[in-house]
Amino acid sequence: AAGVIQSPRHLIKEKRETATLKCYPIPRHDTVYWYQQGPGQDPQFLISFYEKMQSDKGSIPDRFSAQQFSDYHSELNMSSLELGDSALYFCASSATGVGDTQYFGPGTRLTVL
């Protein structure tokens, strides 16, 4: 069965650069979630979208923005990168939003030098 796809899998950037992470949900899933997992930490919710509209927002820095496109894929844009942004970024998708199972992608490992 098709799973959530994330690209790139690994990304290395310098401080103050920008990065774009992409997430392709499972077909027919209309909700996308982004989580950030720092080294040795639990995943922290960043933001979610349902039917291309932002549905919830967590501890996402103002330097980050995200959107969901008409084909339901989502992009997380990160600007003015800081060393502390180095983390594993997970995307998850679900079919109906609240209460439905979230299926996770493999993650994008971002390293900021």
Partner 1 sequence: AQRVTQPEKLLSVFKGAPVELKCNYSYSGSPELFWYVQYSRQRLQLLLRHISRESIKGFTADLNKGETSFHLKKPFAQEEDSAMYYCASQHHNTDKLIFGTGTRLQVFP
> Which residues contact partner 1 (rule: CB under 8 A)?
3-4, 31, 33, 35, 41-45, 48, 50, 55-56, 58, 90, 92, 94, 97-99, 101-107
- Measured from the CB of residue 17, what is the shortest distance to partner 1 in angstroms? 26
- Measured from the CB of residue 101, what is the shortest distance to partner 1 in angstroms? 6
User: CA 52, CA 30: separation in Å to the nearest integer?
Assistant: 8
Closest to partner 1 by CB, 24 or 33: 33
Closest to partner 1 by CB, 24 or 90: 90
Give 78's contacts (C-beta < 8 A, 6+ positions apart).
18, 19, 20, 21, 63, 64, 85, 110
User: CA 84, CA 72: separation in Å to the nearest integer?
Assistant: 29
User: Residues 45, 57: contact at Cβ < 8 Å?
Assistant: no
- Measured from the CB of residue 45, what is the shortest distance to partner 1 in angstroms? 4
